[in-house]
Amino acid sequence: MTLLQVLLAANAIWFAMAFDAFYRRRHIFAKVLVPIREDRDNSAYQAVIESGRFMGGFNLALSALNVMLVFNFGGFSTDAQWATLLIFNALAHGSQFFGNVPMALQNRNGGGLWNVFKGVMLLIFALDFTLMMANGALAIWLLV
């Protein structure tokens, strides 16, 4: 298995885990985003729970795309074609990472609605950064 196939498989696994967290376990993940029990007794909290279906659905599609790419490895003949897909993956992970940066900065000042540097959120923050960088670096390597 090549480095590209390993990275595609890692993307598929991570996006599948995000589908599970956001879609199937959306009630649990909403508690991570709204950790104070008293803050959950309103319709906005219910909207957070239900929005997990949308986030999960996007992550399921991204996982399926990466699985299909692993098994259709010969379907792309140029490095530029693979780089395009890797840049797409880098942007998907990057949007998740950079979406948490403002909350992380608030955490450093003692605030923030959820803690980016603890538990499952830290795992998400770190792995999205790692996969963003790995996809981006391999895309650049393929293009140079």
pTM for the model: 0.82
Q: Report how far residue 25's alpha carbon sits from residue 135's, in angstroms, rounded to the nearest whole number.
A: 27
Range of the domain at 23: 3-143
Q: Report how far residue 133's alpha carbon sits from residue 71's, in angstroms, rounded to the nearest whole number.
A: 23
pLDDT at 143: 95
3-state secondary structure of 139: helix
pLDDT at 1: 60
Q: Give how many domains the chain has, as a whole number.
A: 1
pLDDT along the chain (144 residues), means of 10: 90 96 94 92 92 91 92 83 94 93 94 90 95 97 95
Name the residue type at position 120.
Answer: V
Distances from the Cα of 89 to the Cα of 42, 86, 122, 141, angstroms? 35, 5, 20, 15
